[in-house]
Amino acid sequence: MRPSLLLSTPLLRSSLLAVVVAGAVACPTAAHARVSGAILVAKAKKKKKKGFAKGDKVVVSDETAVRQKPSKKGEELYTAKEGEEMTVIAVSDDGAWVRIKDKDGSKGWLSADAIAGGGGDEADAADGGDEGGGDEEEAPPPPKPKKPPKPKRPHKPKPKPEPEPEPEIDMSGGGDDGGDAGDGEKVAKNDEGDGGDENVAKSAGGEGEGDGDGGGDGDVAASAAAKRMRFAAFADLALLARSVSFTSMGTGIVGNYKLSNSAPALSLVGGVRKQVGGKYDVGLDLGYLMTVGGSGIAVMDPSAPMGSKALAWSAKAIDVRGVVGYPLSPKFDVAGRLGYHRAATTVDDSTIVKLPSERLGGFTVGLGLDAKQLTPKIAARASVETMLGASLLQNSGRKDGDSASVSAYYVNLSATYMINKSFDAIVAYTLSYESYGFKGTSQRDAAASNGSRSDLQHVIGVGVLYRR
């Protein structure tokens, strides 16, 4: 039978159409199969950043730079070592940077990629697929309810911050040298209280978070600068004025006299500082003072044309001092001082007064108080010292006795005014009081034996301080 005849029969055409439709239902097309498989098996993966919270203890996974701002362009403060433990203070809005505080109290921004367990993406794979051979599609999760918008806070204009000085060594007077390197360090103004960290807000573009210690974070740059070795030096021109009073059982100008004189002087001082243990400021100072010219000491001399004679006189002093400072508050430091003082006085020989040339030396110990920031540009400092184990040596033939007991006290005051980042103007004042008690026979005059002497000296100078 021919095919045309088979299709021409109505009954056969209906049967063939039913077979074709049943096959189409039982065997879907390849494109349809791919679409159905994609719906049943695949689900979009959600990615989220590893979260950190304030107060978390984290560990540095790779050696990396701690920066002043949450950006790779931020100034590098120091390098965090692998395995170093940090405390989280705040997190940037995008979660890519974490503000940390190390065990020394230094703070800065660290990339989340450099923290163990941080910075990576976590994938949340969807459950589903063709479990148990089922073809049912997974129902989408219900939408999360939207949070009501927060009421807007009234806008309050922020006060303009005052200019802040760079971290530096504060210099001031000390001993007979007219000045020494200060113990403290000018620091940026730090707002205390529960107001939070203003620096975090400025850097991350959001509201800052406090340390959790009841105060603000302080200035990160100042904290980093304190960790480095700092150096400062100043030179000033000074006026030195001295008065000397000697009394004994003797008579005449040799046994009892009062003399005074003054001379210009030059003072040079240098010092270094480094923060140790997060709080202690440890340093070393070196100072030198010398008189330059002057009119000398006027004494009565009948043989002189005018009845008096000026004896040439000069003085030199050197001080070496170790300093350990401790902060009492953000603006004030207290410092212990231990050093060695050596001074020499040279006087022209005179057969009338028979004044001795002499050298004084001994250890000094004292306390200092630093006002690191009276204003954003002005700092001040004060200290008191005394001498221990002092010895006095006088030139042969002019000794006031076989031995001498010495008491010496020194008061140092100074103030600085910041000119720019590297230079300050400085005013320094030193008051020195030295008392001598002599025992034994005087070589100047036997009648002047067992005498006593007191020296009072003022040194005031004005100069320029350099720091880095």
Burial of 360 (0-12, 13-18, 19+ CB in 10 A): buried
Of the residues 102, 122, 142, which one is the last residue of a structural domain?
Answer: 122
**Could you tell me the pLDDT band of residue 439, with boundaries at 50, 70 and 90?**
very high
Look at strands 97-101 and 452-467 and give their pairing: unpaired
Residue 134 lies in a domain: no
Under 8 Å CB-to-CB from 94, ≥6 apart: which residues?
Answer: 49
Tokens of 345: 């006085």
Tokens of 189: 């103004």
- Nearest CA to 292 among 350, 356, 233, 239? 239
Residues 327, 243 share a domain? yes
Residue 40 lies in a domain: no
Residues 177, 67 share a domain? no
Render pLDDT for 422-437 as a digit per residue (tens, 0 to 9).
Answer: 999 999 999 999 999 9
SS3 of the chain: helix, strand, coil, percent, to 5: 15, 45, 40
Residue 26 lies in a domain: no
**Could you tell me the pLDDT band of residue 290, with boundaries at 50, 70 and 90?**
very high
Tell the residue number behind the tokens 């004189």, with chain if given.
Answer: 261
Residues 361, 454 share a domain? yes
Residues 229, 347 share a domain? yes
**In the 8-state DSSP scheme, what is residue 81?**
P
Range of the domain at 69: 49-122
Residues 294, 237 share a domain? yes
Please count the structural domains in the chain: 2
- Nearest CA to 115 among 168, 66, 48? 66
Residues 101, 189 share a domain? no
pLDDT higher at 293 or 461: 461
**In the 8-state DSSP scheme, what is residue 152?**
P
Residue 330, Ramachandran bin (φ over 0: left; ψ between -120 and 50: alpha; else beta): alpha
Give the integer Cα–Cα distance in Å for 316 and 347: 12
- Nearest CA to 275 among 225, 321, 333? 225
Under 8 Å CB-to-CB from 167, ≥6 apart: which residues?
Answer: 185, 186, 187, 188, 221, 222, 225, 226, 230
Residues 177, 117 share a domain? no
Render pLDDT for 115-160 as a digit per residue (tens, 0 to 9).
Answer: 886 544 443 333 333 434 444 444 556 666 666 666 666 555 666 5
CA 164, 269, 286, 390: dihedral to nearest 10 degrees? Answer: -120
Residues 439, 365 share a domain? yes
Give the integer Cα–Cα distance in Å for 104 and 94: 27
Q: Is the pLDDT of residue 296 over 60?
A: yes
pLDDT at 150: 65
- Nearest CA to 289 among 175, 424, 416, 457? 175
415, β-bridge pairs: 380, 427
Residue 23 lies in a domain: no
Residues 407, 306 share a domain? yes
pLDDT higher at 57 or 31: 57
Residue 3 lies in a domain: no
Tokens of 441: 């026979």
Please give the helix or strand (H or E) that residue 210 lies within, else none: none
pLDDT at 148: 65
Tokens of 382: 């004060």
**Could you tell me the pLDDT band of residue 448, with boundaries at 50, 70 and 90?**
confident
Max intra-chain CA distance, the chain: 170
Beta-carbon neighbour count of residue 224 at 10 Å? 20
Residues 301, 445 share a domain? yes
Concatenate the DSSP letters of all residues of 115-151 into one string: BTT-S-EEEEPPP-SSGGG--PPPPPPPPPPPPPPPP
Residues 392, 316 share a domain? yes
Residue 428 lies in a domain: yes
Residue 152 lies in a domain: no
Q: Is the pLDDT of residue 62 over 70?
A: yes
pLDDT higher at 104 or 246: 246
Under 8 Å CB-to-CB from 454, ≥6 apart: which residues?
Answer: 244, 245, 433, 434, 435, 436
What mean pLDDT value characterizes the chain?
A: 74
Residues 416, 288 share a domain? yes
Residue 375 lies in a domain: yes
Please give the helix or strand (H or E) that residue 4 lies within, else none: helix 3-8
- Nearest CA to 167 among 427, 29, 373, 344? 373
Beta-carbon neighbour count of residue 420 at 10 Å? 8
Render pLDDT for 385-411 as a digit per residue (tens, 0 to 9).
Answer: 999 999 999 998 889 988 899 999 999
pLDDT at 172: 47
Strand ranges inside 248-312, DSSP E: 257-276, 280-291, 297-300, 308-311
Of the residues 91, 107, 122, which one is the last residue of a structural domain?
Answer: 122
Of the residues 103, 122, 141, which one is the last residue of a structural domain?
Answer: 122
- Nearest CA to 175 among 414, 406, 404? 414
Render pLDDT for 187-211 as a digit per residue (tens, 0 to 9).
Answer: 333 333 333 343 333 333 333 333 4
Render pLDDT for 211-237 as a digit per residue (tens, 0 to 9).
Answer: 434 334 444 444 555 567 889 998 999
Give the integer Cα–Cα distance in Å for 93 and 230: 35
What CATH number corresponds to the domain at position 360? 2.40.128.100
Tokens of 110: 């660290």
Render pLDDT for 343-384 as a digit per residue (tens, 0 to 9).
Answer: 999 988 877 778 899 999 999 999 999 998 899 999 999 999
What CATH number corresponds to the domain at position 84? 2.30.30.40
What pTM, to 2 d.p., does this model score? 0.55
